[in-house]
Amino acid sequence: MQNFSDNLLFIMIASVSFIYLLMLLRNAGHTPKPVAHV
């Protein structure tokens, strides 16, 4: 059960970071100014 929990957590973090990266790339493409908050 612990292995499943760790795997689920990893998938959640990976998907969230991937979606955030996509949004960041799309925003960077529309607006030339860098993002103020990291």
pLDDT of residue 27: 80
pLDDT of residue 11: 96
Taking only the tens place, the pLDDT of each residue in 4-38 is: 899 999 999 999 999 999 998 888 766 656 555 55
CA distance 28 to 30: 5
The position carrying tokens 């908050």 is 37
Please give the full DSSP string across 1-38, using - where no structure is assigned. -HHHHHHHHHHHHHHHHHHHHHHHHHHHHH--SPPS--
pLDDT of residue 38: 56
CA distance 21 to 24: 5
The position carrying tokens 């955030």 is 20
